[in-house]
């Protein structure tokens, strides 16, 4: 039909029709051409805006380490890396260091093809972006219990996979830099307990060395003999750096330790010498009544005790403080029993000590997810025992916990008057975890409930939590860890050792993509 029309128009001898058509065709063609120019400019604007947004975010992330003189060149490089079209100009690039906010303006002169017919040489296109840089404080909380020495499917032992995964995480957060102006990290290994400071450390201000806490003397017959003083009485042994769990509610919160409230102080870990074997002697063996005692390391009549203990109960024998005087514990046992993990590496922006902490991880002991989580949180806290963390209200600062376990909470119920092995909550018979029981299932359930409360409290304080249930042994903890995570997408369940590195890389990518809303 169009061809027929054109043929008829061409044969037409009516001049007014031909002139009218010519006059109409020219502006129509020009409008169509200008539309093409505008469409091209719109496409370039979208590309420029995306590149400007990404560059502003990158500029904000690097803000702490960029010199004023390098802001423009850095901005230009960042835009160039994301914009591959017509040449651009960075018209303005600024950083507000107080709020770690980057503002970026860019411009492109979009070329035209048809608009030049009316004297338009180009179409100016601009983009504007504002982004807040995020400082990161990350606590890497790692289960190093004995089961981590086993393998999980393909990829070798779990502890070896953990070292590799930890190294990959550091590489992702630090890159090739020895230090970072944006990222600080801590490493918190845990087993049945957490070694808060290195073994043999001196008393700390946040510790209860004077026996003020309501739980300080719960295992001993002489209140004047504090746990710290018992260490000083013995030979060839010093405090291992672990502490016992604070009384409720301070066991699951970040209340700052204060001598004005002794229950907020941290009591040194001192596992009591458990009763001698039945029939006399003090080699490891069976306690009275046919019950086992795992941590028997002194003679119940040793030290400065003397006298007969005929008719004494196991509880009375265990509580004696006189037996520690000038005593030497037997090898492999002692007051630091189950204080197994490496010491915490506090928050630092230096990669070297973190790499050293990761590479030296060793597998030993039981599992206490609660204590791992709590000490991870405390390394991020601005208050003692660790004070490296920024204020909870510090602008553009995100606090993150990455919690990994290959098992479940384990108190260790036993068939004796203690009802359990010694643990961060003392003995199960004291009921501090919820009730006095030796039933392992019940003890685990109570510890899980405490752990979930601690997760809830940490998240309420603004802590972002990622959780990892590693291997089949952690299958029973998946529900707990998924609930503990800030979001279900922050929960991971790698089954094989070979899966752990990719998970840590994925978490690093997730953390690096975090935004702070205006």
Reported as a single tens digit per residue, the pLDDT across 357-379 is 999 999 999 999 999 999 999 99
Cβ-contact 349, 183 below 8 angstroms: yes
More confident residue, 45 or 229: 229
Tokens representing residue 134 in the block: 């995020």
Cβ-contact 182, 345 below 8 angstroms: no
% pLDDT > 90, the chain: 63
CA neighbor of 92 nearest in space, from 80, 77, 102? 102
Cβ-contact 406, 481 below 8 angstroms: no
Gap between the terminal Cα atoms of the chain? 59
Confidence of residue 23 (pLDDT cuts 50, 70, 90): very low
More confident residue, 53 or 170: 170
Please give the pLDDT value at position 28.
55
Q: Write the pLDDT tens digit of every residue in 199-224.
A: 999 999 999 999 999 999 999 999 88
Specify the domain boundaries for CATH 3.40.50.410 within the chain: 135-199+338-512
CA neighbor of 412 nearest in space, from 433, 391, 383? 433
Please give the pLDDT value at position 256.
97
Confidence of residue 518 (pLDDT cuts 50, 70, 90): very low
Q: Write the pLDDT tens digit of every residue in 271-290.
A: 999 998 764 444 444 333 44
Under DSSP, the state recorded for 110 is E
Non-local (6+) Cβ contacts of 158 within 8 A are 147, 148, 149, 150, 151, 152, 363, 406, 470, 471, 497, 500
Q: Write the pLDDT tens digit of every residue in 476-498.
A: 999 999 999 999 999 999 999 99
SS3 440: helix
**Mean pLDDT for the chain?**
86
Chain centroid to CA 44: 41
In whole angstroms, give the CA distance from residue 246 to residue 208.
11
In whole angstroms, give the CA distance from residue 194 to residue 414.
22
More confident residue, 236 or 478: 478
SS3 203: coil
Task: Please state the length of the chain.
Answer: 518
Per-residue exposure over 188-212, b if at least 16 CB sit within 10 Å of its own CB, e if not: bbbbbbbbbbeeeeeebebbbbebe
pLDDT at residue 133 is higher than 90: no
Q: Is the CATH number 1.20.1090.10 carried by domain 135-199+338-512?
A: no
pLDDT at residue 508 is higher than 80: yes
pTM of the model: 0.81
pLDDT at residue 116 is higher than 90: no
Please give the pLDDT value at position 38.
67
H helix count then E strand count, the chain: 11, 9
Confidence of residue 40 (pLDDT cuts 50, 70, 90): low
Q: State how far the alpha carbon of 205 is from the alpha carbons of 214, 218, 302, 384, in Å.
A: 18, 22, 33, 9
In whole angstroms, give the CA distance from residue 272 to residue 178.
44
Confidence of residue 110 (pLDDT cuts 50, 70, 90): low
More confident residue, 182 or 100: 182
């Amino acid at each position: 039909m169009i061809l027929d029309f054109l043929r008829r128009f061409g044969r037409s001898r009516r001049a007014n029709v031909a002139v009218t058509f010519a006059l109409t065709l020219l502006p129509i063609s020009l409008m169509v051409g200008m539309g093409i120019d505008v469409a091209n400019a719109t496409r370039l604007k979208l590309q420029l805006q995306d590149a400007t947004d990404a560059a502003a975010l990158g500029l904000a992330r690097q803000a702490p380490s960029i010199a004023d003189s390098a802001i423009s060149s850095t901005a230009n490089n960042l835009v160039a890396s994301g914009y591959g079209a017509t040449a651009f100009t960075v018209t303005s690039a600024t950083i507000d260091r107080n709020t770690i906010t980057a503002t970026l303006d860019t411009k492109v002169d979009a070329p035209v093809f048809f608009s030049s017919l009316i004297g338009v040489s180009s179409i100016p296109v601009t983009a504007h972006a504002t982004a807040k840089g995020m400082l990161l404080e990350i606590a890497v909380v790692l289960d190093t219990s004995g089961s981590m020495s086993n393998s999980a499917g393909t990829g070798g032992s779990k502890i070896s996979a953990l070292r590799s995964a930890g190294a990959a995480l550091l590489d992702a957060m630090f890159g090739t830099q020895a230090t970072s102006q944006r990222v600080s990290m801590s490493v918190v290994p845990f087993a049945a307990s957490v070694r808060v400071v290195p073994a043999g450390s001196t008393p700390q201000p946040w510790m209860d060395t004077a026996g003020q806490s309501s739980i300080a003397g719960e295992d001993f017959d002489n209140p004047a003999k504090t746990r710290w003083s018992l260490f000083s009485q013995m030979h060839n042994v010093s405090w291992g750096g672990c502490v016992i769990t604070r009384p409720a509610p301070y066991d699951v919160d970040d209340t700052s330790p204060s001598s004005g409230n002794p229950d907020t102080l941290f009591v040194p870990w001192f596992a009591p010498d458990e009763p001698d074997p039945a029939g006399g002697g003090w080699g490891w063996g069976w306690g009275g009544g046919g019950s086992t005692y795992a941590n028997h390391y002194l003679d119940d009549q040793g030290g400065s005790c003397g006298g007969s203990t005929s008719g004494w109960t196991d509880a009375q024998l265990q509580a004696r403080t006189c037996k520690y005087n000038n005593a030497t514990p037997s090898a492999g046992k002692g007051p630091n029993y189950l204080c197994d993990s490496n010491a915490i590496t506090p928050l630092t922006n230096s990669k070297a000590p973190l790499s050293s902490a990761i590479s030296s991880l060793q597998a030993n002991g039981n599992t206490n997810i609660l204590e791992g989580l709590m000490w991870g949180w405390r390394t991020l806290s601005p208050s003692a025992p660790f004070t490296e963390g920024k204020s909870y209200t510090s602008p553009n600062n995100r606090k993150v916990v990455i919690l990994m376990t290959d098992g479940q909470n384990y108190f260790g119920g036993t068939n004796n008057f203690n009802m359990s092995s010694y643990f961060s909550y003392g003995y199960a018979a004291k009921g501090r975890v919820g009730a006095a029981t030796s039933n392992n299932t019940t003890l685990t359930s109570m510890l899980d409930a405490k752990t979930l409360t601690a997760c809830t409290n940490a998240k309420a304080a603004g802590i972002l939590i990622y959780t990892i249930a590693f291997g089949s042994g952690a299958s029973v903890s998946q529900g707990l860890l998924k609930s503990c995570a800030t979001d279900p997408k922050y929960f991971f369940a790698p089954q094989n050792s070979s899966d752990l590195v990719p998970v840590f890389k994925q978490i690093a990518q997730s953390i690096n993509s975090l935004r702070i809303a205006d």
